Structure 1
Amino acid sequence: MQYPLQPALKVLLSPLSAIYGAGVLLRNTFFKWGIFRGREFPLPVISVGNITVGGTGKTPHVEYLAALLRDKFNVAVLSRGYKRKTRGFAVVSTESHVEEVGDEPLQIKRKYPDVTVAVDGNRVRGIQKLCRCKGRIQAVLLDDAFQHRWVRPGISVLLTDYSRPLKDDMLLPAGSLREFVSAKERATTVIVTKCPPDIKPIERRIIMTDLKLFPWQSLFFTTFSYGDPRPVFSETVPFPEREIIRSEKYGILMVTGIVSPRPLRKHLRSISPRIRQLRFPDHHRFGRKDVARIKDAWNSPGENLRMLITTEKDAARLRQTTGLDDELKRNMYYIPVSVKFIDGCGESFNKKIIDYVGKNKRDHILC
């Protein structure tokens, strides 16, 4: 979980950032000089990633791409499966366990069961194995792969959070940058994510100026669109009507294990102003003590908590958490999130992606 550091702490950590930066610089220099070489594949490869630690909306953007391509091409999603307890290559099914494949790959598979989803920390090996899968994969989406330079994608999408400008950040551990801001030159497309839906043109121009992109790089702006609450479990009862929530003053228990839950909390205020929040670290595995903490919060006297609402990513883990009683399961919902391009620029983005995949889709049997 990333929190803004105090200025004094940033100063104390800056020597460690310098050491970290030297390692990053050396690695990138080796790739630049050809000592390390990325591999190209005879099929379309689209990478989605960032140069900051978490919280830019990678999974919703990968889902957007999967939804865009799935009806026209046999597309696969390849992730490293962050925080899974297994190693090597694995194909994700809707019944996979979160500890075997990770929460985000499982979320994508449950949302799009007809899309091939796989995990492998070694992306080169993962693509090779996908090429040998039945069904003739025609394109691969790499989730969180901007730093994985062993694969050379045809399109590299770099995400940057609207609320965390790159120019104001520092390298780890003093800041949240995984590498220098100059690394953005490797991207073919840059997307500023989590923008206010009503972001003004002048503000977009300021961001464009600050990013200092090259003419051959495309820039887009997106925001999040929140859907209606959906049941986490099969036994979850229908979500209460908004009028009943307001008239009966129902409260919400908000449970999250993500980097930045603030946008979700803001959205939930449109449902009920009475929100009790439990915040856990990103990708948190819920254990017995966590379940006890959730139960205690749910049963707090005087708060009239009637709905437990979480994120789609947390729902993937909570479904497989033991110890949740029937009452919690009956009242547990998640909020689906989707990507929306601002000012209709999504058509241009979609055309760019579809044209690239259509012209380069694989007709080979092996990679």
Structure 2
Amino acid sequence: MLNWLLRPFSWLYGGITDVRNRLYDKGVKQVYIPPVRTISVGNLTVGGTGKTPHVDYLLRRLKRSYPVATLSRGYGRQTKGFRVATPSDTADTIGDEPLLLYRKHGPGVVVAVGEKRAEAIPQLLALANPPSAKIHTIILDDAFQHRPVQPHLNILLTDYNRLFYKDHPFPAGRLRERRNGAKRADALIVTKCPDNLSTSEMVRISESLKPFVRGNIPVFFTGLRYGKPVSFAGISIDALPNELVLVSGIARPEPLEHYVQQHFNRVRHLRFADHHRYVAKDLETIQAALPPDGVVLTTEKDFVKLQPLLAKIGGDVSRFYYLPIDVAFLTGEPEFLALLDKEMC
């Protein structure tokens, strides 16, 4: 009932985003085209489609052949303006997701943040020190609605569990704009798919997407793969103690919770808001929930915030672990890599 009551506000919100998009489409609002190859990774939905694992995937593959940088607004940081990640940065200075990417790829990849990306890209390219002086490719994280920049390749993500064509604009739904915004996409990835997703189901989803996308753009299907638990001290192990507390501060923790329930003896799940800024009181809550012989299991994104907090208060890191995460293509990975190679020429 509430959904129907909110529909008029969704129509109004969708109309406002339509006008904004039309101003960019018609050239009324200025659009910056970067002088180097630029890939945008984004979505139509508010949070939870797996952008960061897909940016991580792109960085790992592209940095083998090209000097690569990634640029985001640095959501949740306490700073403003353009900033390049350094070893001294924290989630407060650049945001949790950029910090995670820097921990995994820096300094071989330039990780930068800046709210106004049309202004940040020239600053990024103007940096004097390598590898930034030779940047070939910039990956824009969460930039599908950032219309002031025109990327060379626009990758749109949609969660298999909440496909955008079944949703509505805010506030009746979780869409940032109307579904026809998907026509700006050059490729579409259905994320967080189950491993046993059938070919017929992939075909059905692809057909359902056609009315909302441009031409015959390629549609790919990916799932999440969790690695072996890693201690906060950096040691990978095959098994954890029988009892654990799951801690997460991500947009949609259901797939993570489902995986943990299948593979571990979970005691309790402490769920925090996406991009949660942990404080000492949160650690007290977490440690109070721990059984005598139990451990804490968390995500990579939460790890980069909890680890320095533990170090600051002198906490016992031996009882804290995180799950590495990766993206796996169900089908079509060679075709996706060929698309990247084509765009990178």
Residue number in structure 1 paired with 2:294: 306
AA at the equivalent of 2:304: A
> How far did residue 304 of structure 1 move?
5.1
**Aligned-partner residue type, residue 183 of structure 1:** G
Distance 2:236 2:164 in 1: 42
**Aligned position for 1:184:** 182
Question: How does 1:155-194 map onto structure 2 within 5 Å?
Answer: 155-194=153-192
Alpha-carbon separation, structure 2, partners of 1:254 and 1:305: 14
What TM-score does the superposition give when structure 1 sets the normalisation length? Answer: 0.88
In structure 2, distance between residues paired with 1:297 and 1:124: 45
Check conservation: 2:40, 2:153, Cα contact below 8 A.
Answer: yes
The residue that corresponds to 2:303 in the other structure is 315
Would the alpha carbon gap of residues 324 and 280 (structure 1) be closer, same or farther in structure 2, given more than 3 Å must change? farther
Q: What is aligned with 2:84? A: 91
Corresponding residue number in structure 1 for 2:261: 269
CA offsets 1:72-104 (integer angstroms, 9 cap, x no match): 111100011001111100001233111110000
What's the CA shift string for 1:108-167, capped at 9, x where partnerless? 010012110000011111110111122221110000000001111110000000000212
Partner residue of 2:339?
A: 352
Q: CA 1:238–1:158 in structure 2 vs 1: closer, same or farther (change >3 Å)?
A: closer
* Corresponding position of 1:364: none
Provide the C-alpha distance between the structure 2 equivalents of 1:356 and 1:180, rounded to a whole number of angstroms: 27
Aligned residues: 337
* Residues 68 and 137 in structure 2, CA contact (< 8 A), matched pair in contact too: yes
Question: Which amino acid letter does the alignment assign opposite residue 31 of structure 1?
Answer: Y
User: Which residue matches 1:294?
Assistant: 286
Q: Which residue of 1 aligns with 2:55?
A: 62
Q: Secondary structure at the match of 1:290?
A: helix
Matches for 1:42-53 after TM superposition, within 5 Å = 42-53=35-46
RMSD of aligned residue pairs (Cα, Å): 1.7
1:116 maps to 110
**Aligned equivalents of 1:131, 1:310: Cα separation in 2:** 35
Cα distance between partner residues in 2 of 1:257 and 1:66: 23
Partner AA of 1:47 in structure 2: S
Deviations 1:294-324 (A, max 9, x none): 12111xxxx5552201000111111232675
Question: 1:154 maps to what in 2?
Answer: 152
Query: What is the SS of the residue equivalent to 1:196?
Result: coil
Aligned to 2:2: 9
Show CA shifts across 1:256-288 (max 9, x none). 001111211222234323331100000001123
Q: Contact 1:291/1:324 (CA < 8 Å) preserved in 2?
A: no
Match of 1:326 in 2: 315
Alpha-carbon contact 2:40-2:151 (below 8 Å) kept:
yes
Distance 1:224 1:182 in 2: 27
Question: Which residue is equivalent to 2:249?
Answer: 257
Give distance in 2, aligned partners of 1:164 and 1:337: 20
- The normalised TM-score by structure 2 is 0.93
Contact 1:89 1:118 in 2 (8 A): yes
Q: Which amino acid in the other structure matches residue 274 of structure 1? A: R
Partner residue in 2 for 1:3: none
Moved over 6 A (4+): none
Q: What is the identity, as a one-letter code, of the residue corresponding to 1:123? A: R
Do the aligned residues in 1 keep the contact of 2:66 with 2:136 (CA within 8 Å)? yes
Q: Which residue type is aligned with residue 125 of structure 2?
A: C
Matches of 2:281 and 2:315, distance apart in 1: 18
* Amino-acid identity (%): 38
Query: Is 1:230–2:219 an aligned residue pair?
Result: no
SS in 2 for 1:269: helix
Query: 2:256 and 2:267 mapped to 1: Cα distance?
Result: 11
Residues 228, 236 of structure 2: 8 Å contact kept: no
**Contact 1:269-1:275 within 8 A present in 2 as well:** no
